[in-house]
Structure 1
Amino acid sequence: MKKIIIALAIIIANFTIEAQVKTPQSSPKATIFQTVGLTDIEVVYSRPAARGRAVFGNLVPFGKLWRTGANENTTISFSDDVIIDGKTLKKGKYALYTIPKIGSWEIIFYNTTNNWGTPEDFTEANVALRTTVKEEALSKAVESFTIGINNLDTNFAYLEMAWENSSVAMKFEVPTQKTAISNIEKALAGPSAGDYFSAAQYLFQSNGDIAKARAYVDKALEMSIEQPFWYNRLKSLIQAKQGDKKGAIETAKLSIAAAEKAKNQDYVKMNKESIAEWSKN
């Protein structure tokens, strides 16, 4: 009986594996990554096809909210604030909805991105930005719905959408000059506390120059007003590696005090365990 049960289990398992048949999606998923100036943009959407059907005014009714693709939300994300039609759209991820009309489309950036299709309860409070763009007629039909980021410039680009014989292009501006100047000023100001900490951490973890690691972590602490507990934790480990167990214990105590203030019990525990170990020698 036991052998029969095992045999049945194997047969069922094999049938289950074989039953997982993969078939092509009717609206395949697509992802676009594009950098404009210094701003990263990502678009994720599904691409329905016309397949001989009339699209706008039929499959996609005029004047009604459209998911702008198929299946789950079409989403777009910006790594920086952008300007659209003179209005600021904050950096982040948005659902991209549209309302196609004859001669124009409304484009809507919506804060909630986890809907299947359009929201069950669309609320204006979730609209981050709304704009209207002119619709252009195409002489050659586009079979599959297509989104692109085109006509790139250092300071702007166009979000383009096309399907059937309709196309729209929405200009958005990116803060390239502001970001570049900020990067230049940061570089000219020299390394930050975080840069020194990262350098010290790398040298410690890679068994590099321990004296240089100590100098870097000291510099990181010197530049930090709040003396982060993870900075002092690294310093204590470096001191212990240098053979300065007494100094390591004192620094670990500083790390414990800061970690308790931040309610980070993991670092409290790690430091106490290290102090116990260093106190034995």
Structure 2
Amino acid sequence: MLNRTSLLAAPALAAALLFSAPAAQAQISTPAASPKSTVTQRVGLTDITITYSRPSLKGRQAFGTLVPFGKRWRTGANQTTSIKFSDDVTVEGKKIPAGEYGIYTIPNKTEWLVVFNKSTKQGADVDGFKDDQDVARVSVKPYKLGNKVETFTIGFSDITPATANVDMMWELTGAKFKVTSEVEPKVMAQIDEKVIKNASPSANDLAAAAVYYYDNDKDLKQALAWMQKANATDPKFWNVHTEAKIRLKMKDYKGTVASAEQSKKLALDAKNADYVKMNEDLIVEAKKTGKL
């Protein structure tokens, strides 16, 4: 039989149990030994995202010990490293459709095999891995790094308007593969839609199309026509400078000087010393080359 003291204590005990239960169940959060990392790079018009976990050496040897030679590696710690392409790409000559894939590697002393697999959750063990899910396999040569990398690192290097290298680096070893984005068809489709077939293209679209033609050695007469049209309605010092460069490439030296002088004046008004200097250099080059 409960006495008065027990009855009074019961609600307090229940409340204590109620509020202490979540605290007892909560887990302690500590820093991960191999923290998760995500790196993203736009290559051309394609976004590439890599998610991986980063183990550290901590006095150990990486390749040949922590990562045995000749065996499949998930290219990181904890779980398989994943790579996501927003558009179709080419990796070391192999076409890979847009999508997300697991990156598995088989390191050796003189060659690495890089495997792109449809699954990001297969693990790296031989028994559980499904080769029929591979979308591409490429071989790359490892190289020696100039400085020791304590924590496994994946990054991007040698970026151009259409390509980039994906670098995998740990200890004194690096390996990389080249990703190529399909830029030309996409840009040309936009130019066709927004400039060629558009009765009233904007000055920005006209200038962008002209710059693309100039940068990629396409029809310079067409590039000049587009840039002139853009500058006629909305002259910007950077666009007028590009018009001068197009004229120089076409060996129109007098036109180059005239456009560069106009761009220089606009740059002076905008207090942009860099473009003032670039235009002055362009004028000197045009006068010297054209013997003006």
TM-score under structure 2 length normalisation: 0.61
1:11 paired residue number:
20
**Do the aligned partners of 2:122 and 2:129 also contact (CA within 8 Å) in 1?**
no
1:93 maps onto 2:76 in alignment = no
Q: Does 1:156 align with 2:163?
A: yes
Radius of gyration: which is bigger? 2
- Report the Cα distance in structure 2 between the residues aligned to 1:71 and 1:14, rounded to whole angstroms: 28
Q: Is the 8 Å Cα contact of residues 27 and 70 (structure 1) preserved in structure 2?
A: yes
Deviation at 1:82, TM superposition (A): 1.0
For residues 185-200 of structure 1, the aligned pairs below 5 Å read 185-188=192-195
1:50 to 1:4, Cα distance in 2 relative to 1, 3 A: same
Q: Deviations over 1:100-150 (max 9, x none)?
A: 001111111010112355575222211100000011012321100000111
The two structures, once aligned, show a CA RMSD in angstroms of 1.9
8 A contact 1:64–1:100 mirrored in 2: yes
Find out whether 1:131 has 2:146 as its counterpart.
Answer: no
Unaligned runs of 5+ in 1: 191-281
Matched-pair contact (CA < 8 Å) for 2:85–2:100: yes
Residue 118 and residue 149 in structure 1: after superposition, are their counterparts in 2 closer, same or farther (change >3 A)? Answer: farther
Contact 1:73/1:118, CA 8 A, preserved across alignment: no
- Does 1:29 find its partner at 2:36? yes
CA distance in 2, matches of 1:47, 1:135: 19
2:151 is aligned with 1:141: no
Q: Distance in 2 between matches of 1:118 and 1:78?
A: 25
Q: Is the 8 A contact 2:122 2:130 kept in 1?
A: no
Query: 2:60 aligned with 1:53, yes or no?
Result: yes
1:141-178 per-residue CA deviation (whole Å, 9 max, x = no partner) reads 11000001111001111011000111012112110111
Residue aligning to 1:271: none
Paired residues of 2:55 and 2:77 also in contact (CA < 8 A)? yes
Taking structure 1 as the reference length, the TM-score comes to 0.63
Mapped contact 1:95–1:109 kept (Cα < 8 A): yes
Change (3 A) 1:10 1:119: farther
Could you tell me how far apart the structure 1 residues matched to 2:22 and 2:162 are? 57
> How many Å separate the matches in 1 of 2:125 and 2:165?
24
Structure 2 equivalent of residue 62 of structure 1: 69
CA distance in 2, matches of 1:41, 1:73: 17
> What percentage of aligned pairs have identical amino acids?
38
Q: Tell me the residue number matched to 1:196.
A: none
**1: distance between equivalents of 2:124 and 2:71?**
13
Match of 2:207 in 1: none
Does 2:47 match 1:40? yes
SS in 2 for 1:42: strand
- Verify the 8 A CA contact 2:122 2:128 in the aligned structure 1: no
Matched, 1:172 2:179: yes
